[in-house]
Amino acid sequence: MQRLITSAAGLNLWTQAFGRPECKPVLLVMGAMNQGIFWPDQFCQELADAGFYVVRYDHRDTGNSSRIDFKKNPYDLDALAADAAEVIRGCGLDKPVVVGISMGGYIAQLLAASYPHLVDRIVLISSTADHRPYMAATTGSSTDDFLLPGPEARYLDYVIAASLNPPQTLNEVLQSMSEGWRVTYGGPRPYPKVEVEKALKAAVERAPDIASAFHHGWAVAASPDRLGLVERIGVATLVIHGRYDPLLPLAHGEYLASNIPGAKFEVLDMGHSFMWSWDKEILSLVLQFMLA
């Protein structure tokens, strides 16, 4: 079931639900610049088949959700967390389990800290309490003064190459996006090229302006770290991180697990992205945590 939620700020947020509304709710929060459809259909359906009511959604500036004139109306991670809260209320979700990947994990942290009455527990996949090393490294600045490490060279090489030779045609854009996804994977399993490229093509078809998704980078850059905030999270938390994450190395997951009170920590031999590659393992860990 698909529906648009209209926020208090007048934004339309696209949502899609799997399962029965009377079941325990789960909200899936995607990472920066990516649409809700990057939560694989089968992953969502298997969660629903396990007895949960699963909702995924498009962030503002992606997919079928509203576009923002960022120069006139800049926003930050707090605004994106407020959008997630609007989805929870608009879809009638009674204290969902919030599962966030990458920037979606930043949003889950903010929900748990600022809207604890709306959240039952959170799962943080490939996420961090401090996005600044990533932002600094990808904009050519030093990461020496940060507690946590920046991205690996293989990812930065992709960022530099893409900036020096930006794609011009739609086909080149899709190829560049696919290469970007490829370098986010790591570990022993192959890059799920067919599945990712199918999702990328669907995403382009759903987005009248794919460039608007880059506003997420500005929103993250405008936001403070959460190094201290995570210590105030009072809901049950599961941290899942890839041993070979090239964007947010393992130390980022270790920090979250060590500083969120009572957090559980699971490390998989994956990179940053898990979709269509580590679905089974992620699903198993999430279900164990939700059913505990």
For residue 15, the enclosing domain spans: 2-291
Residue type, 80: L
pLDDT band at residue 168 using 50, 70 and 90 as cut-offs: confident
Share of the chain above pLDDT 90, in %: 94
Please report the pLDDT score of residue 165 as a whole number: 87
For the chain, the domain total comes to 1
State the pTM of this model: 0.97
pLDDT band at residue 239 using 50, 70 and 90 as cut-offs: very high
pLDDT band at residue 166 using 50, 70 and 90 as cut-offs: confident
Instruction: Decide if pLDDT at 167 tops 90.
Output: no
pLDDT in tens, 195-226: 999 999 999 999 878 889 999 999 999 999 99
Please report the pLDDT score of residue 292 as a whole number: 86
Q: Which CATH number fits the domain that encloses residue 61? A: 3.40.50.1820
pLDDT in tens, 2-49: 999 999 989 999 999 999 999 999 999 999 999 999 999 999 999 999
Write the burial class of residue 1 (CB in 10 Å: 0-12 exposed, 13-18 middle, 19+ buried): exposed
